[in-house]
Amino acid sequence: MKKESVILITGCSTGIGRELCKSLSEKGYTVVATARNVESIMDLPVSLKLSLDVTQKESISNVINEVLSKFEKIDILVNNAGYSARGALEELDLNVAKSMFDVNVFGIINMIQAVIPEMRKKNFGKIINVGSISGKFVQPINGMYCASKFAVEALSDSLRLELYNDNIQTTVIEPGPIKTNFFKTMVNNSKDILTNQNSHYSRFYESDAKYRDKQNLTDPKVAAKAIADIILRKRLNSRYKVAVPFLHSMVIHFPDFLREYIMRKR
């Protein structure tokens, strides 16, 4: 991958997106960091910092135009923006679920539709969709988030088939649990549900909280370095697991009855 490649990354305020910007910049690439609140990324050592809301097409258009005006191309798009809200399907507010899908799924589609025409002009491009290992198997009280990440898997597979003749590669990154603000944000988004002692699902919420307290989390710098090495490869595989615990890597290959048994016990 040539060092003059222009890499546009969404969701750079914290976590993987932020560390990915640093890692790629240190390697000498032209990195465009974006976040809804541009003030949160002003300290990043990147080539360009822009405000971007992936749910708003006008915001996306402004960013694409500014990047093209400055660099004349976009070689790599990293769709990293995303978040989680938890709760049993019976109890989860559908407006919360729709907002999550707007970012996690339709936000990716918005970005893809904006960038592909520009990549096609150059007959080259890479689209990196950051999904989750939760897009491979479902956990109780996390069904809506898992559904959004299952969707990312499907979108990525479809894109890879549709763009094959345009020399635009697509892959999906499937991270395991990373030490970021992800879980803190998730709890804030779901606090009323997760702390409801009168809920029929309170035992699930309590068990989930205990599990998260003892869960081993990977340093986002380690995950970002692994992802940077992946996206800079000449040829991309269809998907890559990053920082996924051994049990999770195994569970996705188990038959349904065994996988569900383990999830119930957890």
- Which residues are catalytic, by number? 145, 149
Query: CA-CA distance, 182 to 212, in Å (whole number)?
Result: 12
> Greatest CA span in the chain, whole angstroms?
58
Query: CA-CA distance, 103 to 94, in Å (whole number)?
Result: 14
Q: Give the dihedral sign, CA 1/159/21/212.
A: negative
Structure tokens at 262: 């383990």
Query: CA-CA distance, 135 to 66, in Å (whole number)?
Result: 33
Query: CA-CA distance, 64 to 67, in Å (whole number)?
Result: 5
> By the 8 A CB rule, do 50 and 66 touch?
yes
Query: CA-CA distance, 115 to 119, in Å (whole number)?
Result: 6
> By the 8 A CB rule, do 187 and 143 touch?
no
> In degrees, to the nearest 5, what angle opens at C-alpha 52 toward C-alphas 76 and 29?
30
**What are the residue ranges of helices labelled H in 141-255?**
143-162, 182-194, 202-214, 220-231, 246-251
